[in-house]
Amino acid sequence: MDIIAGLQSKNNAEAYQLLLMLEEESAASNSLYDNFEDFLGLLKSGNSFVRTRGFRLACAQARWDAEDKLAAHFDLLLAALDADQPTAARQRLAALRSVILYKPQLGRRITDKLDKLDLSKYKDSMRPLIERDMEELRTLIERKEV
């Protein structure tokens, strides 16, 4: 099965289940690290769900990133935080936790991006949730810097 095609499936339920399985696999081994660039390629999709899947899986490779691919492509990942959909923004922020844990040297770049995010595009009901997610990331970054 072509995992990149599966992640782009029009059947969102199946694609989401595949994402969860691949995230589990990424937590357990480096078997998907060679797909890092493919995951980044999903960020160019016209579909927000697909972009979010690519973002999450690229971040999930942080633990195995001996070649510093994340740092080399981090501006592309950070640009994806400007998601129009609040749920996409929240999922992407959550995915950055593994980056902070395994690549704490990227923390300052994350903080700089968080400081520049425009939250005014989100409804009042979602903005506090996103702000809380951002604050949790900042706290995690501060702990890793100590």
Residues in the chain, total:
146
Q: What does the block give as tokens for 64?
A: 């195995």
Band of pLDDT at residue 146, cut at 50, 70 and 90: low
How many whole angstroms separate alpha carbon 25 and alpha carbon 34? Answer: 13
pLDDT value at 109 more than 80: yes
pLDDT value at 131 more than 90: yes
Query: What average pLDDT does range 127-146 have in this prediction?
Result: 92
Question: What predicted TM-score, i.e. pTM, was given to this entire model?
Answer: 0.94
Which domain covers residue 116, as residue numbers? 3-145
How many whole angstroms separate alpha carbon 21 and alpha carbon 67? Answer: 24
Looking at the chain, the whole-number percentage of residues with pLDDT higher than 90 is 96
Residues contacting residue 136 through CB under 8 Å, at least 6 positions apart: none
Largest pairwise CA distance in the chain: 44
Angle between helix 48-60 and helix 12-28 axes, rounded to 10 deg: 10
In the chain, the number of structural domains is 1
Residue of 122, 98, 100 whose CA lies nearest to 111: 100
